[in-house]
Structures are given as C-alpha cells and as structure tokens.
Chains A and B, each alone.
Chain A
Amino acid sequence: MNPSPDPVVADNPPLPEPPPEPLLRALAPRLRGLERQLRGWLDAPRRFPLTMLQRAEIEGLVGDLGRQADALDVERPLLVVMLMGGTGVGKSTLLNAIAGSPIAQSSFTRPTTRDPVVYFHHSVRSDRLDPALRVCRLAQHDRPGLEQKVIVDTPDLDSNDLANRDKLLALLPIADVVLYVGSQEKYHDQLGWDLFKEQRQRRAFAFVLNKWDRCLTGESGLRPDEDLLADLKAEGFENPLVFRTTAQAWVDAANATGPGSTPKPENLPPGEQFALLRNWLELGLTRIEIESVKAQGVGQLLTHLARVVEEVRPPDLSAIAGKVQTGWESALADEAGVQADVLVGALEPYQTEVEHHFSVEGQQRFRGLMAAYLRLTTLFRYAGSRLRDRHPITGRLLGGKVETPAEWNLGVFAQDCTRAAGERVLDQRTTALVNRLLVEADHRGFPLTLLSESTAAVGRLDWRERVTRAVIDALSEVERQATHPTGWRRWVRGTLGVLANALPEVSLVVTAGIILWSFMVYQHVPDLFQMLLIAIVPLTVIIVLHVLILLVLPIRWPVIRNEFRGRLETGLAAELGRVYLPIPGEIAAALTAEREQVEKLTAETRQISEWLAQRQQAVRVSELYGR
C-alpha cells in the first residue's frame, strides 16, 4: 500500500488568513463564568453524595475549563501538540528531527526523557505558556511556520519508571493535539492504547509510526501501518492522519551537515513521510485550523462536562418519598400501639396510686360533710399504697416484690414508669425501629445512604423524655375527662354534685329540726337512738350518694386503663410521626433543589456548547477526531 497522502497538505493550498474573529476570545469569559459556578457547586454542602472518583473527575474537568479559558483569552491562541508514546519509540528523536538540532536528549538507554521538553517560538513569552509547561525544559526557535504552535516531548508511559507516567498524565490535559507515536514493536501496546482510548474523546489525535524501516521486513501477517489503520477504524477513525517516519535518519543527516539545516537523508525506506509530518505541522495547521482545533477541544470538554455532571444529577425522589411516608405511617402506628401496651403494662404496679389520685381529684368539687367523709374513706382505702412504700419489708414478707418508692407526683411517677419500660423493652425497640424504617424505605426504592444519617440522628434523640411527656399528657387528659365529663355524664355528675353537697346537710338539719320540733311542740324528750339519728341519717344519705357516685361515675383502673392506653397510643403515634415522617420529604426536597442546580449547570454548559457550535468554522480537521 502506498502511504496515504496527507489530505490537509495535499488538497488544501494555504488559504489567505481570514480577518481575525475574536470567537475564542469571546468564549473565555463564558468559560470562566461556568468554571466559577461549577466550583461554587462543588464546594457547596450537599445531600446527594459524590463519589471520590466523580468528584475528582469533575474537579479535573473544571480545572481544564479554567486552563482553556486562560489559553483562549489572548490575541493568537497557542496550539499545544504533544508527543505521546512508549519508551524508545523515538519521541525525542522525532522532536529533534523536527527541530533539526538535538534539543531533546535521546539515547539508547531506556527511559531517556524524564523531563518534558517544550519547543516554542521565541516571540511567545514563556509566561504565556501553561504553568505546567513553564517548569519543563524550554527550547525556543524562530521558525515562522511553527509560530503559534508549542510542541511538547513527554516522558514515556510504559517503562519501569512509574514517575514518568505520572508526569505524562499531568501534562496531557494541556494538549490540543496528541501525536501518538508508535514503533513497529509498540504501536499495539496495551498501555498506550488504553490511554489513547481514554483521551480520544477529549483531544485531537494524529499518529506517527516511527522506525518505519523496521516495519518493512515482514514475510507474513499485516504490515504494522495497515494493522494500525484497521485498529483505528475499529475505534472510529475512518481516515486518520498516520505518518510513517524514520526520524533517526533525519537526525543523522542533520548532524552530518550541522545544526539548523534540514537536508533530506539518503536511502530513506519507501513510503517514509517525515517531510509530510513537518509540512503538516508548519503549513497544514493554519491559524484557522488552530482555532478550529481549539474550539473543537472546548466543545469536547463541554460535552464531556455536561455528560459527567448529568451523571451526578440527584434522582427525583418526591414521588417515592410520598410512598415511603405512607409505609412509615403504618409502621409507626404499629410501633405506637406496642409502646402504649408496654407503658400501660409498666403502669400496672401503680394502679392503686392512679385510682387514688383520680379519686382525690374527683373529691375536690365536694364540700362540707360529703368532702369530710370522702377524705376519711380514701385515707383508709389507699392506706396500703403509702404503707408499702414506707415499709417495703412488709411487701417482701408477704411474697410481693419491692419496687422503688414512687412519690405521688405525676412527673416523677411517669418518669419511673418510662424508665422501667425503657430498660426492659423500649430502648431496644427504638433502635430496631430505625432499622425497620430503613428497610421499609429501601423496599419502596428510597436510597438508603441518603436516609441513614438522618434516621440515626433521630434515633439518638432522648426518647425517654419524649415518652415520659406522652405518658403525662395522656394521664392528665384522661384525668381531665374523668373529672370534667361531657354529655349526659356531665349532667349526672352536676346533679349528683349538687345533691351530695346539699343533701347531707339538709338531712342533718331536717333530722335535727324534726327532733327539736317534736321536743318543742310535743315536749317529746328524744331518747338516745333519736339523738343518734341526727348522725345516722346524714351518714346514710352520704353512703347512698357515695355508692351512687361509684356506680354511675366509676373511677376504677380497668376503666381508666383503656382510655389511657388509647390516648397514649395516639400521643406516641403523633410524636413518632412528627419526628420521623418529615425525613423522606425533606431529603427529597433537598435533592430536588440540588437537582435543579445541576440541571441549571448542564443547561448552561449546553448553551455555551451550542453557541460555540454555531460559530465554529467548518474547517476540515475532522480526521483528527474519530466518531
């Protein structure tokens, strides 16, 4: 096969330079603006986490964006052509051949080049070079054809000296055009090929098959250049620029004649194309093509950026959050039910105290004889509950268990209950509840990583305090209802209250009055029994009334208990719901906000990309890019 003619040089006579159009320069501020926005977004705290890799990739791209902006914000942008390849393929020799003098060290020991060499026009001030290039070995020239181009020789990518590979990787982001240099041995090597595949979406690629003389010895199999072309075609490069060179021959010829001159060496192998490569570098890459390559590079960068940012766009979880909430509601209701059971169970030992308390509360509205009577009976009835706290020993003797004494103070008492219940049951249940909710959320498709932090934080809250408050609330509520009933109970109670407050006194007065009347009018001297009647009648009335009150408005533990349990369950469910239920919604809302931000960034990126595409001149540089 004849080496394919270089399309740029062969078909395209040098065009007159078009009037300078500040396209790239106008692009620079927009890129900077985008860079600022992206940096702000990267630094902002976020709910939806970025993996280390994603963050590193985006940070790298943002850095490239800033670099591009700086590189474009000049009158005549520089094109950075970078030589990339394995050790010994002849990168430095190639640069020396292009320069016509030994500017880059080359020798038979591998690897030779450890420090990159930058070859640029003397009119370019070195502070216009990218900062990464300024620390390299600098070599200036005065060739007008290469005025706008910077050629960089890089260290290898495959030797045992792994630091070289890192240096190359640090330099690659600066390259606009990568000249992938291969030799007969290495054009197929995995390390270089992988790097090419990784970078090809981001920069222009041209290929050099150096040591061309060694490629022509074959008896069978494909010739290396055909093999390479086939591989490139498979990668989407339909018509790539491939230069077959024997750089060493050109260097030897230049050495023979003296520095600066570029004589054509004798005995070049057939199809050698170094001259073509030099021509392409000097003449083929005109100003307009440089702009085009630059613009294409920015376009690729923006596309890549848009894709990567799109990838880290948080998902839309609002619908799922709703579902999770529904799921959690039932789980929390179940939990509240069990917790209420446990707490009521824990209250069981204190039932006498509760009854006593309620009775005392109920007695507040009675006056006079009735009040005195009630106080006396209550004292007797609940004497035990005080007794066992003062004398715990009696309890033990009679086979009961000793409890810690609880003063009848609603707060302390409720705390006691909660502590007992918490130690036995509730603490474990609270941790289990968090896991239950997480599993439930996962079941409905909510990402666990987003939730676990918030739920764990809620799980650490002081639950005993909250439960104690719920117990107190429920007790006072029940108490209020018991002591202030509504509906018919209220009427019955009111009537009974009036009767109880009035009847004993009335009966006392009436009994005494009747006896006095019979004494006054009939001179009937009352006997002992009649005198006692003054006390017995009111007492009977009181007892009847008391029995009536107990029957109609009972304050017994089993009655209070159910009421209390119901209220406690409602209270606990409300408390649990208040704490847990908003979590998925909050996260979903935060994600939506982050999502909008990402969308804004992507839109902005796309917009710049389109703006660029509209203005980009249709110059034939497509063979530098694959599909």
Chain B
Amino acid sequence: MQPLDTRAAVGELAQDLGWLENYCRQQPELAMNAGTLRLASALTRNVIGPFLDDQPAMPLHIAVVGGAGAGKSTIVNFLAGSVVAEANPQAGYTRHPTAYLPAGPTFPWPSYIGFMGPLNRISEEKPADLDQDVYQVKRLPPPAAGGLDPLSEFVIWDCPDMTTWASAGYVSRLMEVAALADLIVYVASDERYNDAVPTQFLHLLVKAGKAVVVVLTKMREGDAGPLADHFRREVLGRLPKLPGGTTPAVPVLAFPQLPQTVRSDPAGAGAKYRVPLLNQILVQCETAVAARARTVTNAARYLSTAGEGLLDVARRDLAEFDAWKGAVIAGEAEFKDRYRREFLSGEQFRRFDRYRERLIDLLELPGAGRMLGNVLWVLRTPYRWTRNTIASMVVRPDMLNLSEQTVLSAALMGWLDKLQAEALARAGSHMVWKGIAQGFETGLGTQARDKFQQDYRTFELKETDELEHAGQQMVDALEKNPAVLYALRVGKLATDVMVVGGVLILTWVPSWYHLLLIPLGVSATHQTAELVARGAAEAARARVRNQRESLVASALADPLAEWLAGRPATGGTSFERLQQVLKRVPETIHRLDEQVAARVAGSIPLAASAPTPPPEHPTA
C-alpha cells in the first residue's frame, strides 16, 4: 500500500471514530461511550498514523494522569527535576494539557496531519485553567550545573483530571494525550486510589496496552508500604486481562505527603523519591524505537480487539433500523397477499374470452370453405341452443370482484397504516422509530402515496401490454404457423366430412331419424374443438395471473418497500453514515493492524542493530 493510501485510511478511520463519538455525545444514553471512542480515534491519529508515516520514534511521550488534587503537577515537577508546573489546591484547575519538552537539542515536533485531533497548539503561555480545545508546549530549563537530563528523550504531559463535575467538558483532551503517550504515570492519592472513576480510566488505559507506572501520593510515611499493598490487591488485582491473556505488570511507587521544602526541590531534596520513579520509567522504555513499536503494536491490537465493542453503539441503532426494514417487508408481503386474494384469485380476465373465440374462428375454413362452415353452423344450431339453456341454468355466476384500483389502494393504505401504527407504538423505545413517526406526521404517508401513484401509472400500461401480449401469443401460436393451422383446419373438416359420410354410408338408405345423427356428430366435433380452445385460454389465464403477481411485486411493491426501508437512511439522518461506519471501521482497522505488524516486524531487527545510545540509569 502506498503511503498516501495509508494516510487516507488512517484519516478515514479517525474521522469515522470521531464521527461516532460525536454521534454518541448527542444522545444522552450513549454519551458514556464517547470517551472510549475518543481514545480509539486518538490512538489512530496520534500513534498509528505517524508510525506508518515514518515519523521518528523520538520523542517518547509520558502522560501524567489522575483524579483532581491527586498531585499530578507535583509528579510532573519530579519528572522534570524542577518546579515547572503549578501545584494548585483548587480541584480541577487544569483544563487543558501542557507538554514539557526536554532542554537540549530540539526534537522535531510531530508534523503528522491530524496529530492531536481538534486540539490546537497555542504559542503564547496561558494559565492552565484555560478551558479550550488547546494544548501548550513549554521547554524545561536545562538541568543545573551540567547534570544530565535522564528524560532527555521524553516529552512530559501534564493532563487535566477526570473526576470533577466540570471534567465532562474536557475529558476528551485527557483522552487525546493518554492515547498519544508511550508511558502513563497514573497518580492516585491516599484518598483517591480506590475511587471508581479513576479506576475505570486506569482499566481503559491498560486495555489499550499502555505501559503504566502508578504513583501513590500523600499518605503518611509509615503507611506507604501497606497502602501500596492494598492498592495492588484491590485495584491492580482487578485489572482486565490483556488480549494475550496475561495480566499486565504495573509497578507501584509511593510518594508520601512531602513538606514544601522537598516539593520545591525535586532534584535535590526529593531525589530519594524521584530516582526510583525515573528508573521505573527508563526500565519500561529501554530504547525509543522499541518503546514506540510497543505503543503502536498495542494500539493496533487494542483497536482490532476492542473495535467490535466500540461499534456496539452503532450496532444497536442499526438493529432498530433493521427492525423497521423487517416491518416494511412484512407489510409488503401482506400487500402482495391482499392483492392476490382480493383481486387475482377472482379475476377472470374477460379479454381472454375474445381470444378464445378468435381461436375457434381460426379453425373455420376461409374463402369457399366458409359456405361449408355455415352449413355446419346451421346444423349445430339445436345443439347450441340446448347447451346455452342448460349452461345458464346450471353454471353459477362468479363472485364479483372489487376493482383492481380499489384493492391496490386499500392494500397500500393498510400497509402504510400498519407501519405508522407500529412506528407510533414504538416511538418511545428508540429514536429511529421516533424519527419515522415524526416522518409520518410530516407527510411520509403522502409522499409514499405519490410515489405509488407514479409507479401505478407505469404499472397500468405494463399490465395492459402484458394481457394483450398473452392473448396475442395464444392466437399467434396458430396464426404464425400456417402448417399447423391448415393441418388443424383440414383435420376438423375431415372429421366432419367423415361423420356425415359415415352416417350416410352406414345407414343407407337413411331414414329421417338416422339423419338426426349428422347434427349430433358435427356438434360433438365442434365441442371437442371448443374444449381444447378453452383449455388453452385457461392455461394462458393462469400464466397471466402469475405474471401479474410478479408485475405487482416488481413494479409497485418492491420499489415502494425499498423506498420506505431506506427512508431513515436519507434526508439528513445519520443512518447512512452509521451503516458506512459499521462496514468501514473493522475493515480499516484490520488493514492498519496488518500494516503495523509488518512494519514492526521489519523495524525491530533494524532497531536492534542500529547504534542507539544506552539509556542512562541514574543511581542514587
């Protein structure tokens, strides 16, 4: 795949997930899924995209996260080695993330399009409580007296909290940075460490495959050990299993309540606490390339395992959409059934009687033979009268049908009414139905009827054509085939002549009652011919009935059903997009996952052979 394609795929996936996130945000019952979706789209944009685009692995990113007042800023200061972040007693003061770049040679800041998503970088320095979709970047002061900066390859992110009631507005910014990070420092105070909301967040990070270092803060010096144990047991003991089935190893460090003097001098007085923390971080990120490869691999794996779950929100809505489709199709079946029963079953297609008569006419001889035919016709008169009289007495008239138009419009109305009643009854259960019920209020029914009327006009033309065609076909079978026609004519004539001749010869000299056999005989031959013609007409009638049924389905019912079923997907509603997203996201995730795997497999030996400076392990 070309880099351009990859970029497009990443952009598309991020956009789809972002769209789904917004979609969830707009619906109160789905809003809780928005955070996870944001994490997924941020992983795509901030981690997978740059990696596949061959952006340099360095710098690595450390995100410091935790509940309000847990001591995130203090930990940032300890990581930086000097007081750079304002520790502030106001809970939820920090409202946007701040990145601290190491002193020394400048890193190229990631230039990937879509990096950090909607968050803009602000150039001038602003207080941390600026509540906007932004992030700022600050440069750390160089370490004092020529000391080495152990985190010279890292960017440290100070993040907002996720516990205060204002955090609903900025938790997406936190997700953005958490997704970007190669390592998370999860800060939990002695008050917070067993809280539900931060723990959920920790679970999410672990599931996303982030390397996590936990820092417990603010306990009394003596409680540090037991507290860490309790944390390991209560919180880490319940961590979700990784996709590989292993429980992640999460190191826990304790930072007791520190006096102001220690807090303000992290590199000096605070070194006792700082060095183990730095060690843990460096252990987890031995080389930049490997750490980044791990981040990317885990992100891709998370997307491919959690992707299905992420789409559940969309799937539920689509299920309702399918239920609507099902209702439309059931209505269509009923519509067809009504047409068949109310109209087709009783319809005689009288036009066929005309074709039947023509068929019998065809058997008569043309020209001079017509005279003979007329004689025979006269001979058959008594038979004809008798037959008609008996028939009128014995044959029951047919049940009268409603007209085709009446049946169709009643069936259509029944169909639409059923759908509307269903939509109204279910309007409370889901917004799909509510939308449809509203659609009916605002003229969906009228539109459907208009559409039906249009279709009906073409249907009417087609049905007349078809009927004529079927009748014509019946006659054409003989007319277009003179050999058969003449054979039949001659055959019939021969039979008549044989009957007359046979009677005369066998009963010579015939008496008057013997002569009566002649009209009887010719009547019998004619009746046979008529029965055959009637059979042909009946067969054609059955054919037309079937054809008409399929014509109604194809010309009237199917287009309308399609239009109705597609109704929620058009007119500015989000279902079209929802379907698209559901189809596209798993495919794209799969594709990117494969690419990441291939790229990582290629880059690891490369990284091993490449001369990278060994990480510094500061020792106390």
Contacts and interface: CB of A to CB of B under 8 A. Distances in A.
Interface of A: 86-89, 108-111, 158-162, 183-191, 193-194, 214-224, 227, 338, 341-342, 344-346, 348-352, 383-385, 387-388, 391, 394-395, 398-401, 403, 420, 423-425, 428-429, 431-432, 435-436, 438-439, 442, 448-449, 452
Contact of B396 (A88, A224, A395): A395
A223 B90 contact: yes
A121 B370 CA distance: 128
Given A160-B234, A348-B397, A436 B414 contact: yes
B195 A159 contact: yes
Contacts of A344: 400
A110 B86 contact: no
B194 A110 contact: yes
Contacts of B67: 185, 189
A185 to B, nearest CB: 3
Contacts of B165: 188-190, 193-194
B407 to A, nearest CB: 8
B520 interface: no
A98 B166 CA distance: 33
Contacts, number: 222
Q: Which 4 A-B pairs have the closest CB atoms?
A: A384-B393, A345-B400, A185-B69, A400-B395
B247 interface: no
B410 A432 contact: yes
Nearest to B340: A424
B342 A428 contact: yes
A435 B399 contact: no
Contacts of A384: 390, 392-394
Interface string B68-108: 11100000000000000011111111000000000000000
**Which bracket fits the contact residues of B?**
35 or more
Contacts of A111: 194
Interface of B: 67-70, 86-93, 127, 129, 163-168, 189-197, 199, 219-220, 223, 226-227, 230, 234-235, 238, 260, 334, 337-338, 341-342, 345-346, 387, 390-402, 406, 410-411, 413-414, 417-418, 420-421, 424-425, 440, 534
A84 B68 CA distance: 19
Contacts of B235: 160
A447 to B, nearest CB: 9
A240 B334 CA distance: 67
Contacts of A348: 397-400
B24 to A, nearest CB: 18
Given A184-B69, A185-B67, A193-B165, A108 B227 contact: yes
For A109, A185, A215, A220, which residue has the most chain B Cβ atoms within 10 angstroms?
A: A185
Contacts of A219: 86-88
Contact of A186 (B86, B168, B191, B418): B191
A227 B398 contact: no
B76 to A, nearest CB: 14
Nearest to B437: A442
Given A224-B91, A395-B394, A449-B425, A425 B402 contact: yes
A411 B189 CA distance: 89
A190 B168 contact: yes
Nearest to B393: A384
Contact of B401 (A87, A345, A449): A345
A200 to B, nearest CB: 14
Contact of B197 (A161, A190, A448): A190
A149 B413 CA distance: 70
Contact of A217 (B89, B91, B168, B421): B89
B90 A222 contact: yes
A87 B194 CA distance: 8
B129 A158 contact: no
Contacts of B410: 338, 429, 432
Nearest to A224: B89
Contacts of B86: 219-221
B129 to A, nearest CB: 7
A159 B163 contact: no
A221 B87 CA distance: 10
Contacts of A216: 89
Contacts of B334: 428
Nearest to B191: A88
Contact of B406 (A338, A432, A438): A338
Given A110-B194, A189-B67, A428-B334, 9 more contacts: A111-B194, A160-B234, A185-B189, A218-B88, A220-B127, A221-B93, A223-B90, A345-B401, A435-B417
Contacts of A345: 399-402
A394 B227 CA distance: 103
Contacts of B68: 185-186, 188-189
B535 to A, nearest CB: 10
A219 B195 CA distance: 27
Given A348-B398, A400-B395, A191 B425 contact: no
A400 B425 CA distance: 48
Given A190-B167, A338-B402, A399-B534, A221 B197 contact: no
Contacts of B346: 424
A89 B165 CA distance: 17
